[in-house]
């Protein structure tokens, strides 16, 4: 059965929350249009009767050998630490994660 779907404002706000992306209100209508343009482009695919078709999977000619299951010491501790967004001595500094989730709005706050 063909079920063409259109994204509405409420659903877009939900998706913005799920993808952890904010959007300024002035861009909201434009992005909604663009997302619906892409969904429209994909609607035709539903016309194909593919209920009996199996989902795609790769065939392998020869499976590669697995790595030995042993820990590898890279000896690059400082290099890893330097990649942290915020480093504090020998630690990654991470934000406090126990906080009240008061703001679930999708509006952009830079």
Partner 1 sequence: MDFHKLSAKEIADGVISRKWSAAEVLTALLGRIKKYDGKIKAIVTLCEEKAYCDARKIDEMVSNGLDPGPLAGVPFLVKDNFCTDGIRTTCGSRMLYDWIPCYDATAVKNMKNAGAVLMGKTNMDEFAMGSTTESSVFGPTLNPRDITRVPGGSSGGSAAAVAAGYCPIALGSDTGGSVRQPSAFCGVQGMKPSYGQISRYGIVAYASSLDQVGAITRNIGDMALAMDVLAKPDENDTTCDAYERPSFSSASAAENLRGCRVGILSGFDKDSMDKPLIEAIDRAADFCRSAGAEVMEVELPVTMKYAVACYYMVALGDASSKLACYDGMRYGLHADGKNLAEMYKRSRNQGFGKEVRRRILVGTCVLTRGYYENYYVPATKVRQMIADEYAELFSRADALICPISPALPYKKGLVEEDPVRIYLGDAFSSTANLAGLPSISLNVGFTEEKLPTNVQLIGPRFGDHGLIALASVLEKYAGSPDIAELCCEGSC
Q: Which residues bind partner 1 (CB under 8 A)?
A: 3, 5, 7, 11-12, 14-16, 18-23, 31, 34-35, 37-39, 41-46, 48, 50, 53-67, 74, 76, 79-80, 82-86, 92, 94-95, 97, 99-104, 108-110
Q: Which is nearer to partner 1, 37 or 89 (CB)?
A: 37
Taking the complex as a whole, the smallest distance from the CB of residue 24 to partner 1 amounts, in Å, to 9
Chain centroid to Cα 37, Å, comes to 20
C-alpha pair distances (Å), 89 with each of 36, 76, 84: 48, 15, 11
Helix, strand or coil, per DSSP, at residue 60: coil
DSSP code, position 72:
-
**Whole-number minimum distance, CB 70 to partner 1, in Å?**
12
CB of 89 to partner 1, least distance (A): 17
């Amino acid at each position: 059965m063909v079920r063409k779907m259109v994204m509405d404002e409420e659903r877009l706000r939900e998706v913005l929350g799920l993808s952890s992306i904010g959007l300024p209100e002035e861009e909201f209508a434009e992005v909604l249009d663009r997302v619906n343009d892409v969904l429209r482009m994909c609607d035709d695919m539903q016309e194909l009767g593919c209920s009996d078709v199996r989902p795609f999977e790769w065939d392998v000619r020869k499976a590669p050998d697995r790595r030995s299951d042993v820990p590898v010491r890279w000896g690059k501790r400082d290099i890893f630490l330097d990649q942290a967004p915020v480093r504090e001595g020998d630690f990654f500094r991470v934000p406090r994660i126990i906080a009240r989730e008061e703001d679930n709005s999708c509006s952009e706050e830079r």
